[in-house]
A and B are shown apart, each in its own frame.
Chain A
Amino acid sequence: MSAVATLRRSRRGGQPASRRLRPWYKNGSLVAGLIIVGIMVLLAVLAPLISPDNPLHQNLDQALQGPSGTHWLGTDKLGRDVLSRLLYGARVDLKIGFLAVLIPFVVGSILGAIAGYYGGWIDIIIMRVVDVFYAFPLYLLVIALVFVLGSGERSIYLAIALVSWVSYCKIVRGEVIVARRQEYVQAARLGGLKNMRVLARHVGPNVVSQAITYAMSDIIMDIMVIVTLGYLGLGITPPTAEWGSMISDAQEFITTLWWMAVLPGIAVVITGLGLSLIGDGLGDLLSPERRR
């Protein structure tokens, strides 16, 4: 698999220098993405101040109401205010999304960088392990692992970390192999710098952009995993307000009170859109000659 991946690139030298210098705030995708995610984060942070109700407050007389003046987005089957739950849910999902990506990002990137930079046996061993994990679809392993570990936030982190580091490993390794041939890396090595230093200072910053871009879509993937785990009854412990469990709770009402699943779905979609735009923008910004 790896041989194919490395064959694809052909480097185009000597791009006009000006493109690289376009300031980040002129990058449409990035700015749009940052605004969207920024609003999401802001809403999450301000949730206690701006939500109309306690997200856990049950009022069974008001259960399953449609949108109204008191409950802008209606109520769920325990009469809890959907808007408040959405706002508080942003806290949980953004937190889980970022945290779940963090560990695999760091571990996978480091292993990938080592494999790509040193090559040889280290590379072979790491990549075989990666291939093994890669053979299992993400959902399969995560679901199986969460079953094994028991449901709950910690299990989800652990399962996702165990499974998704391989993607980062693959991406970073591929990039490092390309970067290793770059003359500035050779220059650094021939300048007598130690391998770790070359890796950390010269290779790392130049290869990490792809991994960051991927991480943005990975956050969405992780939120989807949580949603799916919720569907199978393995999601975040109730009664925590969380988009995934909101969608899975609403699952029984899909054919009747469809908006209950749609609203948290939209929250996921918007966040996803924002993160993808950031990913796109970062991709453009960090490696202008590679993508469009």
Chain B
Amino acid sequence: MKRKVLSLTTVGALAVGSVALSACSGGAAGGASGAQTDGGTPVKGGNLVVARAQDAKSMNNILTFDNTSIFTFEQMLQPLFTVTADGKGTTPLLAKGYTISADKMTYTINLKPGIKFSSGTEMTSADVKFSIDQDTKYASTGWGYINGAIKQVSAPSKYVVVVKLKHPWAPLIADLALFSNAVVPNNYGGKTMDAFYQAPVGTGPFKWGEWKRGQYLKLVANPNYWQTGYPHLQSVTFNVVPDSNTRKLQVQGGQADIDEYPDWSTFQSVGSSAVNAKTFPSTELDYVAFNEAKKPFQDVHVRRAISAMIDRQSIVKAVLFNHGTAANSLLMPGVPFYQKSTPGITKDAALAKKEMSLSSVPNGFSTSLLIPSGDASKLTTAQIIQSDLKPYNINVTIKQLDPTANHNAQQNMQYEMGLSAWTMDIPDPDEWTSFAVDPAGGAKSAYTNYSSATAIKLNREAEQTVDPTKRAALYNQLQNVTAHDAPLAFLYYAPFAYGVSSNVHKFQVTPLGNYPLADVWKSK
């Protein structure tokens, strides 16, 4: 039950001035379920070129935390269930469906027959059991903690998998939809784990091509893909282009089809007859974390005061160029159980004054705001906050550390205020709420040391409540409590931005950040 620490910020984010995307985004690989209608008849073939800020690190879906890797292996490795297009629910992918026992402790999952790996062999329940067990095995170093509620997985027949739980667990199907539970051949087809992931084999629309580290990674269409007629593309090439201007120019010049991380600042200018500047609803929340282990942030009045000083509209304007919205809640609009009416603190001079006068430091103080270096958006945000707090005699020094050091400083609670962001990996709020409010969740409540008995209790209850209405009520209360206690100052919800060449069709990004490419096609 105890959740392991997840990385909070983009590890080793290289994208200079790129939008801060959380490393924890992800989800299930999609099938041919594009909801959007996109004119024209799909054209077969073509190579889709994606310009990305940094290279993937590893194809190991159970040990890898960075988005670039995840978005890549998701094209090859598919889990049993996947996220719906709105990101709030799940839908069967490799599974046909499932049944839940009355005690909510046993899930029986039926598999679609005839699904083949890219190697040509058929996928069976043994492969599924191996894959889930393998994930669970690496609970301490990888994503396996997500399977914490699973007691046992069995494969009673070729197309049936039975999952037994330790206790009732609402997010199970969402958990199984995570990429780390994607199905790989039993026993890695006889290879070692390392060898297997050098050229992974899965059931996805694309299969392994070649990888020149630091230069490009190429996937080619899987001829054995179980959904006939897909994928449309012949291949996908992920090119590493660290400079955001260069990425933009490459898409404009036709050398790349998709810019994975366009700058918000020039986002509008990306759009032209040849390129579409596209935003997709996300589950990203950007926030200020207060380290309650350091004075005076243990004081709720200080946190509330600062929250009331920050002009979120300005940040949305200066950082997102009005592409996002000010945040009001711990949960994001794209996440189930988001409460629109949560009374999150917004800019309010009177409240700020009142809270300051009630606080331990009514005359102001000096502090620092930690941000990762090389992140233009966070730098801008930090400067606005710095300027917002100044009239209240709170002198903020902006402290920049390289991404890894920044990450370490947060983990070790060696900061005072810090800018961070979160994106969901599964279509269930629990992943984030446990991380953010439960000190026992392993992350000291998003590294704030926030510890509210009420919040902890609400979160635990919600985890084990399967009934959606009851869960909703619990999460509403949790959102209200955190809005009042302000362990985090919620800043904004940002959509995902992509620069997409206009001859690319049906390119969709889910709120969890992943983009299935099976039904994407390129016109001439």
Contact = CB atoms under 8 A, between A and B. Distances in A.
Interface of A: 56, 58, 60, 63, 77-78, 147, 150-151, 231-234, 237-239, 249, 251-256
B54 to A, nearest CB: 14
Interface stretch (B62-70, B157-165, B243-251, B295-303): B243-251
Contact of B245 (A147, A151, A254): A254
Given A151-B400, A233-B400, A238-B382, A77 B265 contact: yes
Nearest first, the 8 A-B pairs at minimum CB distance are A233-B374, A233-B373, A60-B314, A252-B265, A252-B263, A256-B269, A252-B17, A239-B383
B254 to A, nearest CB: 16
Contact of B265 (A56, A239, A253): A253
B115 interface: no
Given A77-B318, A234-B373, A239-B386, A150 B401 contact: yes
B374 A56 contact: no
| Most B CB within 10 A of own CB, among A78, A233, A234, A249 | A233
Contacts of B187: none
Nearest to B248: A255
Interface of B: 16-17, 244-245, 248-249, 263, 265-266, 269, 311, 314, 317-318, 372-376, 379-380, 382-384, 386-387, 397-402, 405
Contact of A60 (B384, B398, B400, B401): B384
A258 to B, nearest CB: 11
Nearest to B315: A60
Given A238-B379, A252-B245, A78 B266 contact: no
Contacts of A232: 16, 373-374
B244 A252 contact: yes
A58 B317 CA distance: 13
Contacts of A78: 318, 380, 383-384, 387
A66 B213 CA distance: 42
Contact of B398 (A56, A77, A238, A254): A238
Contacts of B373: 151, 232-234
B16 A231 contact: yes
Given A238-B379, A239-B387, A251-B245, 19 more contacts: A58-B314, A77-B265, A78-B387, A151-B373, A151-B401, A232-B16, A232-B374, A233-B372, A233-B379, A237-B400, A238-B382, A238-B398, A239-B398, A249-B376, A251-B17, A252-B265, A255-B248, A255-B269, A256-B269
22 contacts: A58-B383, A60-B311, A60-B317, A60-B384, A77-B265, A78-B383, A150-B405, A151-B401, A232-B373, A233-B16, A233-B400, A233-B402, A234-B373, A234-B374, A234-B400, A237-B397, A237-B398, A237-B399, A251-B16, A251-B245, A252-B17, A253-B265
Contacts of B405: 150
B91 to A, nearest CB: 38
Contacts of A239: 383, 386-387, 398
B245 A255 contact: yes
B257 to A, nearest CB: 19
A255 B16 CA distance: 15
A210 to B, nearest CB: 37
Nearest to A56: B387
Contacts of B383: 58, 78, 238-239
Contact of A77 (B269, B380, B386, B399): B380
A278 to B, nearest CB: 34
Contacts of A56: 387
Contacts of A237: 397-400
Contacts of A147: 402
A252 B374 CA distance: 12
Nearest to A77: B318
Contacts of A254: 245
Contacts of A249: 376, 379
Contacts of B245: 251-252, 254-255
Contacts of B318: 60, 63, 77-78
Nearest to A233: B374
Contacts of B384: 58, 60, 78
Question: A63, A231, A252: which has the most chain B beta carbons within 10 Å?
Answer: A252
A234 B405 CA distance: 13
A60 B401 CA distance: 26
Nearest to B399: A237
Given A58-B384, A78-B318, A255 B266 contact: yes
Nearest to B403: A233
Contacts of A252: 17, 244-245, 263, 265-266, 376
Nearest to B313: A60
Contacts of B380: 77-78
Contact of B387 (A58, A233, A251): A58
Nearest to A254: B245
A63 B248 contact: no
Contacts of B248: 255
A63 B399 CA distance: 24
A56 B372 CA distance: 21
Contacts of A231: 16
A194 B311 CA distance: 69
A33 B244 CA distance: 37
Contacts of A63: 317-318
